[in-house]
Amino acid sequence: MATDAPASPVLEVRGMEVAYGAIQAVQGIDLTVGAGELVCLIGANGAGKTTTLNAIAGLLPLAGGEIRFLGEPVHSLPAHKRLRRGIALVPEGRGIFTRLTVEENLRMGAYTRPDKQEVEAGLARVYAMLPRIRERLTQVAGTLSGGEQQMLAIGRALLSHPKLLLLDEPSMGLAPLVVEKIFEVIQTVASEGVTVLLVEQNAHLALEFARRGYVMESGRITLAGSGADLLADPKVRAAYLGE
């Protein structure tokens, strides 16, 4: 199963390999994310999904292959330079600064940006999108609920003004109602033109929201297609949807 390549790719991964010593965690994968797309990457624990996002963000070196962002190779750039170009990661576990306030966490997302007026406008947009976060600006981030911490992590990433947002397991450990709200926020972000690559344990929900998806097994991409096609695929339903 395959889908046509996007006409305007923001992210192109070709033959990407990532290794931890002798362990080949990602084995020559190809994936593409087009401008404005919401694309998901699903698979079992240990399939290589988080490793893939970390490599795209620049947190892990490549053992082979290439990563192109907006047509330019970026796989040799360190993470902070990829961030300045517009690649932002919301990591698994959220990675918030627990001893800082909510507002301080948000402003850390904009530390690479010199355009202070635009930063303030970005804060206003985040506050409008995440009203619960706005109500807790002076609260220490470590005292927030899990769902609020996830919203804060997304808001912090948005303050970097990303062109590509990488989301790693945003629903992990959250109650169903909170997960629904998180996905509403993700959908809003995508509808505003931010390109999104989502790794998500809730395969059914991810495929419902995503335009396209990839299935990863043992470090390889084994299936690709539209979200609807993957939802209907018997292999995907048996392996990831409990059917």
Quick: pLDDT tens for 119-143: 999 999 999 999 999 999 999 999 9
The domain boundary, picked from 160, 185, 204, lies at 160
The domain boundary, picked from 160, 184, 211, lies at 160
Indicate the average pLDDT of the chain. 93
Residues 82 and 196 in one domain: yes
The domain boundary, picked from 137, 160, 183, lies at 160
Residues 156 and 166 in one domain: no
Residues 34 and 12 in one domain: yes
Element (DSSP H or E) covering residue 73: strand 72-73
The pLDDT > 70 percentage for the chain reads: 96
Residues 7 and 74 in one domain: yes
Residues 130 and 174 in one domain: no
Residues 166 and 82 in one domain: yes
Contact 141, 105 (CB under 8 A): yes
Residues 22 and 67 in one domain: yes
DSSP string, 132-182: HHHTTTTSBGGGS-HHHHHHHHHHHHHTT--SEEEEE-TTTT--HHHHHHH
* Structural domain containing residue 67: 1-86+162-243
Between CA 19 and CA 82 the distance in angstroms is: 21
Residues 76 and 168 in one domain: yes
Report if pTM > 0.85. yes
Residues 107 and 131 in one domain: yes
Residues 155 and 167 in one domain: no
198-224 mean pLDDT: 95
